[in-house]
Every structure is written in structure tokens, then in C-alpha cells.
Amino acid sequence: MNVLVINCGSSSLKYQLINADNEEVLAKGLCERIGIDGGMHTYQPKGADKIKTDVDMPTHTKAVSLVLEALTDAKSGVIKSLGEIDAVGHRIVHGGEKFSKSVVIDDEVITAIEECSSLAPLHNPANLIGVNSCRELMPNVPMVAVFDTAFHQTMPKKAYLYGIPYEYYRKYKVRRYGFHGTSHEYVANRTAEFLGKDIKDMKIIVCHLGNGASVSAVCHGKCVDTSMGLTPLEGLIMGTRSGDIDPAIIGFIAEKEGLSISEMETVLNKKSGVLGLSDGISSDFRDLGQAADSGNEAAKTALDTYAYRVAKYIGAYAAAMNGVDAITFTAGVGENNISARVQISEYLTYLGTQIDIQKNDMRGEEAVISKDGSKVQLLVIPTDEEMSIARQTVALVGR
Ligand code: AMP
């Protein structure tokens, strides 16, 4: 059974075609600058080089049709006809309180996703455009919505409510939702599998450290807390996002600098995080690592502050679960940044864990990186959100 996994943004569309029977990625690609001049389609069939084509894509439907043409192309395609796409799995950012698991898409589901759009105005409408374009071009293929927020819906009220007037929750559903749920769920399950344990017997902290970053507390297989909130701005210091700040800072800076609320949101989303902290050096941890190694104090401060915030969340979630058995690093920084893992782990010895410098000296592999005999195990598990979406799609519409 072949599943096309679609992650559609406002001007881009990422995709993978996965043979779900053997979990082989048959092809993957990216359409960029949809609706803008200078469009580009990058397509990579399995085992072959990337094919880059400059092509304008005025609409998402045009982008999806280019993807389908590439997949079925006589020379570089990986399937003979569209009939070989058995299902489509769509990443949907916000499922609000309506969706606590993946669902088969029908008109009612589309309306419900639209209703969640005020909670994610930049993401949900774009995700839905992808859904509608695919439905237009493949009307008889079953489609599944997989939500970034769904895994976190098991959080108890005490974890998801903010200390603000309850009427804002009642009226507007202002609460913590959390994101990266597909990744947290996949990585928590792989952590238990990798250790040969039942996830129902474990307390796991997953650190998804990418350009966007979040931590979650997974107690006996269920998410009980996570660091992102109503939006993906809360929690850790990220590439360009501030994470937690004193909310009064917003009014203070807005007044000093003459900025509107939406301009302040741009500052907090796009100009903050390690980019802002390093005084503009970079949002990329590789650049920051190099700058710090060559003695740049601002880069060093940004990396220190970043690691300290991650360690504080780990401490908070060990308290939330009254213990922790495993702490797992994933995503770009978590999988690849050897020194960030060391820096974070140095704060964790009180938990009875010690990083093993030799085991930690690797990138992008599943591994235990704590010393033998550690009470709490440290792991690296590369995340695979597309595979998780494909699996969830098969679970709902599989033959
Ligand atoms: P993601 O959003 O998961 O793709 O993660 C992107 C982040 O991972 C960027 O800040 C990269 O600098 C970081 N990253 C990726 N590869 C490496 C690497 N080999 N060493 C250090 N950081 C890396």
C-alpha cells in the first residue's frame, strides 16, 4: 500500500511517497514559492539524485499536479499511474480540542479543521488548501488528517490551563495545546521499543530540539505536559522564537519602540531565540557552534542560555511525573549536535544519569548515550514524522 504524505504550508509543500508495506520511501520532494514568482520543485526518487525544476506554481493545486506528474513520470517516476497511490496522509497543525487522534477526512472534518483555524491562522488554512487540492486531483483516494496537537490532548487540566481568567478558556479555548505531537509520540514509542520495555511502564521526557523546539512529559504512554502552548511560541528558546518570557515585556518594548502587537509578535517569532540572543549571528546551531569555538562571546551565551532552558524543562517534567526513566533527544539539534547534548546533560547528574562521551560521539542514529548503570537513560532517537503519518494513515484506511 502506497501512502502519499503531504505537509502543506502557505507557500510550500513537502511530500513523501511511502510504500507502507515495507516502509520504504519511494520518493520525496518540496515545492517552494507557491503563489510567488520564482517557483521551484525539487524531486528525489529513491536512490537517485535530486531533480530541481524552476517552475511557477500559481496555486497549490498546480503544485500537487506537478508532484503527481513527477511521481508518474515515465523516466524518473516511481509509480506507473495515480492508481498506485492508495491513500494520502495530511499533516494538520491545529486540531484544537476537537481532535485527539487522526481521522479520515470528510466534509465534516474539513469544517471542524476550519473552525480550529483561528487558533493557527498561518497554518490550518494552508494545510486545508493542500487537502482540497489533493481531493480535487484524486477524488476517490481516501485521505487522513494527522494533527500536531492530537498527542497532547491527554494533558490534564492543571497542565493545560493558564493562570488567566477562566472565561477566556470558556469563550475562546485559550489553553495549552502543544505541537510536534507526531514526533513526540513516535519518539516516545521508539524509546520504549529500543529499550525493550513497555511504554506503559515508563516515564519518558522527549526533547524535540530542531529549529522549532519542544519538550514533552510522557507518563505510561500518555502525554501529561508539553512546553509549547496555545501557539508554538511558548517554552524553549528556539532558532528564532523567544520561548517563555515575562508577558509584561511585550507591552514594555512595544511602548519604547513604538511597535504594534503584531510587530511584537514578529519580533518574538522571527527575530528572537538564539538568533536574537547571539545578536544576529545565526539561528543555525552549526554557525553558532563555529562562532563559539572561535571565541565569540554572544554565540557562547546563546548556546549556554539555550541548554540551560532545556535542562530546566527536563527538571520540571521529572517533577511533573514524580520521576523519569529515559530522556530522549531528537530533531536537528537533538540528533546531530553532540556538544548541545553534553551541555544539557551536565545539568542532569542529580537525576542519576551521566552522559557517555564516547557513545554520544555520533549523529543521527538510534542509541543510548548514557553510561552503563545510569539510573535514568539518555537516548538519541531520530524522529520520522512522515513515517508516523503514513503509519497512522494505514491504521485508518489500510486494506
Ligand atoms: P530541524 O528543524 O529539526 O531540521 O533542525 C534544524 C537545526 O538542527 C538547525 O539549527 C541546525 O543547525 C541543527 N543541525 C542540523 N545538523 C546539525 C549538525 N550536524 N550539527 C549541529 N547542528 C545541526
**pLDDT tens digits for range 291-343:** 999 999 999 999 999 999 999 999 999 999 999 999 999 999 999 999 999 99
Buried b / exposed e along 385-394 (16+ C-beta atoms within 10 A): bbbbbbbbbb
Which residue(s) pair with 37 in the sheet?
none
Cβ of residue 232 lying under 6 Å from some atom of ligand 1: no
Q: Helix, strand, or coil here: 43?
A: strand
Pair 43, 36: CB distance under 8 Å: no
Look up 37 and say whether it is catalytic.
no
Detail the DSSP E strand segments found in 283-390: 326-330, 367-368, 377-380
**214 in ligand 1 pocket by Cβ < 6 Å?**
no
CA of 211 to the centre of ligand 1 (A): 7
- The pLDDT of residue 9 is 86
Q: With a 6 A CB cut-off, is 356 part of the ligand 1 pocket?
A: no
**What is the Cβ-side half-sphere exposure of residue 329, based on CA atoms within 13 angstroms?**
33
CA 65–ligand 1 middle distance (angstroms)? 31
Which of these, 43, 132, 142, lies nearest to 89 by C-alpha position? 142
> What is d(CA 343, CA 12) in angstroms, rounded to the nearest whole number?
35
pLDDT for the residue numbered 398: 87
pLDDT digits (tens, 9 = 90+) for 82-129: 999 999 999 999 999 999 999 999 999 999 999 999 888 888 999 999
What does the pLDDT average to over 204-216?
Answer: 97
In order of start, what are the domains of the chain with their CATH numbers? 2-147 (3.30.420.40), 197-380 (3.30.420.40)
Distance 210 CA to ligand 1 centre (A): 6
Angle formed by the axes of helices 248-257 and 261-270, to 10°? 110
Q: Are 4 and 88 in contact (CB under 8 A)?
A: yes
pLDDT tens for 341-350 read 999 999 999 9
Between CA 54 and CA 44 the distance in angstroms is 15
Distance CA 122, CA 99 (A): 19
- 175-to-76, 88, 347 alpha-carbon distances in Å: 47, 30, 30
Using CA positions, which residue lies closest to atom 18 of ligand 1?
336
**With a 6 A CB cut-off, is 362 part of the ligand 1 pocket?**
no
For ligand 1, whether the C-beta of 363 sits within 6 Å is: yes
Q: Please state, in angstroms and rounded to a whole number, the distance separating the CA atoms of residues 211 and 181.
A: 15
Does the Cβ of 210 fall within 6 Å of ligand 1?
Answer: yes
**Strands 377-380 and 326-330, sheet pairing:** parallel
Percent over 90 (pLDDT), the chain: 96
Residue 54 grid cell: 524552476
The pLDDT tens digits for 124-163 are: 999 999 999 999 999 999 999 999 999 999 999 999 999 9
Calculate how far, in angstroms, residue 13's C-alpha sits from the geometric centre of ligand 1: 21
Q: Name the pTM for this structure.
A: 0.94
Please give the grid coordinates belonging to residue 144: 487522513
Residue 147: predicted pLDDT: 97
Could you tell me which of 90, 137, 82, 133 has the C-alpha nearest to residue 113? Answer: 90
pLDDT over 80 (residue 399) = no
> What is d(CA 332, CA 210) in angstroms, rounded to the nearest whole number?
5
- Which atom of ligand 1 is nearest the CA belonging to 239? 10
